[in-house]
Amino acid sequence: MIPYIFIFILGAVIGSFLNVCIYRIPQGLSIVSPASRCPSCGAPIKFYDNIPILSYILLAGRCRSCKAKFSIRYPFVEFLNAALYVIALNRFGIDPPWVLLVYCIFISSLVVIFFIDIDHQIIPNSITLPGIPLAVILGAAILPDPFFRSQMLGIKSSVIGCFAGGGSFYLIAVIGKAILKKDAMGGGDIKMMAMVGGLLGWKGVILTTFMGSLLGSIVGISLIALKGREWGSRIPFGPYLAAGALVSLFYGQDILMWYLYAG
Task: Kindly give the pairing relationship between strand 148-152 and strand 144-145.
Answer: antiparallel
- Please give the C-alpha separations between residue 71 and each of 54, 66, 74, 88, 119, in angstroms, as whole numbers: 14, 15, 6, 27, 14
Crossing angle of the two packed helices 73-92 and 97-120, in degrees rounded to 10:
150
pLDDT value at position 153? 94
- Please give the C-alpha separations between residue 34 and each of 24, 187, 233, in angstroms, as whole numbers: 11, 31, 37
Q: Is the distance from CB of 121 to CB of 185 less than 8 angstroms? A: no
Residuewise pLDDT in 10s, the chain (263 residues): 889 999 999 999 999 999 999 999 999 988 988 888 888 887 888 888 889 999 999 999 898 888 889 999 999 999 999 999 999 999 999 988 999 999 999 999 999 999 999 999 999 999 999 999 999 999 999 999 999 988 999 999 999 999 999 999 999 888 877 787 777 678 899 999 999 999 999 999 999 999 999 998 888 778 777 766 665 556 788 999 999 999 999 999 999 888 777 65
Q: Model-level pTM?
A: 0.92
pLDDT value at position 78? 97
Q: Is 31 helix (H, G, I), strand (E, B) or coil?
A: coil
Q: How do the domains of the chain map onto residue ranges?
A: 1-94, 123-263
Residue 146 phi, psi dihedral angles, 5° rounding: -60, -20
pLDDT value at position 129? 96
Q: What is the 3-state secondary structure (H, E, C) of 48-95?
A: HHCCCCHHHHHCCCECCCCCCECCCHHHHHHHHHHHHHHHHHHHHCCC
pLDDT value at position 239? 94
Q: Is the distance from CB of 81 to CB of 11 less than 8 angstroms? A: yes
Residues facing residue 152 across a β-bridge? 144
Look at residues 150, 132, 249 and name the one whose alpha carbon lies nearest to residue 198. Answer: 132
pLDDT value at position 243? 96
pLDDT value at position 47? 83
pLDDT value at position 67? 87
pLDDT value at position 160? 96
pLDDT value at position 234? 67
